Amino acid sequence: MSRFAFVFPGQGSQYVGMGKELAAQFPEARAVFDAADDALGEKLSTLCFEGPEEALKLTANTQPAILTVSIAAHAVVAKRLGAPAFVAGHSLGEYSALVAVGAMSLGDAVRAVRARGTFMQEAVPAGVGAMAAVLGLPADKVQAICQESAQGEVVAPANFNEPTQTVIAGHAAAVERASAALKSAGAKRVLPLPVSAPFHCGLMQPVVPRLDEVLSKVAFKVPSAPVITNVEAAPNTDPSRTKPLLLSQVTGSVRWVECVQTLEREGVTKVYELGPGKVLCGLVKRIATAIEAVHVEDLKSLDKAFPAAPVAAAS
């Protein structure tokens, strides 16, 4: 029996219409949207299904929206596959992973990431911070150049996405200095990212005490499968460590390369990316060629993932 894992996407994968087909076709997916709407006291489902796009792109909306769509996809897939050997998520996706294995309730999670998105948005004034994707340089080289380019400001690796793709974040001027130095050092491309705040770096520190207050009200439970965490890239099953790990994630790097390598070491041969987009599938294929990666976000991708089990009409 092959060992499989569920992985969950982070911010940036959202689009108007996400989750609509699954909610229309499967009562278990519809129930997830209803529960998220109830938890927030507003129609998050309508925002996912109909937009407007400008509202969906606001960080405080994007985070609970992606989480809800991911858990709706999980509800459909888990019915077919049962429990995974492991779960993992990229940044925001770690909250989806926790919900999927029962470590956190859906209601607590959507409220927490709504707060997390709001706090992140408010932590750094517009224009003060920036992020850029660095392609074609090894991570240790990127890290060293960031340290040299800081000059008293903040610039550091935010996401280790694949062996030669690292996202950096920090003060706009420091990111600019690092970008120029990285190009000189041989980076194939350095692309400024259209983000609303510099995530996963020291500038996010003001978020931590505010998020701590929110997460202190959450009853974390023992997960039904280990969660490979962003900041340690190692399995966690201890509910007393969940909150500290989520708080560390705010300012710490997303160690996605190592997360996937951990799955590979643990004998995982297939991952299912559940939620909007297939960004993580692409990253997994470039990190661990032996792992098969499939995604499920709508009826077409569900049929492709489970060709022997045609989609049944909703009862």
Q: In this structure, which amino acid lies at residue 270? A: K
Question: Rounded distance, CA 143 to CA 100, Å?
Answer: 33
Cα distances (Å, whole numbers) of residue 43 to 50, 78, 93: 11, 25, 21
Considering the candidates 200, 253, 295, 301, report the single residue annotated as catalytic.
200
- The residues near 269 (Cβ < 8 Å, ≥ 6 apart) are 2, 3, 4, 290, 291, 292
Question: Rounded distance, CA 167 to CA 182, Å?
Answer: 12
Considering the candidates 13, 45, 70, 91, report the single residue annotated as catalytic.
91
Taking every pair of Cα atoms in the chain, the longest distance, rounded to a whole number of angstroms, is: 62
Q: Is 90 a catalytic residue?
A: no
Handedness of CA 51, 256, 128, 179 (dihedral sign): negative
12: region left, alpha or beta (phi > 0 left; psi from -120 to 50 alpha): left
Q: Is 91 a catalytic residue?
A: yes
Question: Rounded distance, CA 60 to CA 56, Å?
Answer: 9
Among candidate residues 25, 22, 103, the one with its CA nearest the CA of residue 68: 22
Q: Which long-range contacts (CB under 8 A, 24 or more apart) does 96-99 make?
A: 96/8, 96/66, 96/67, 96/70, 96/71, 96/274, 96/275, 97/6, 97/7, 97/8, 97/227, 98/220, 98/223, 98/227, 98/242, 99/67, 99/71, 99/74
Name the residues annotated as catalytic. 91, 200
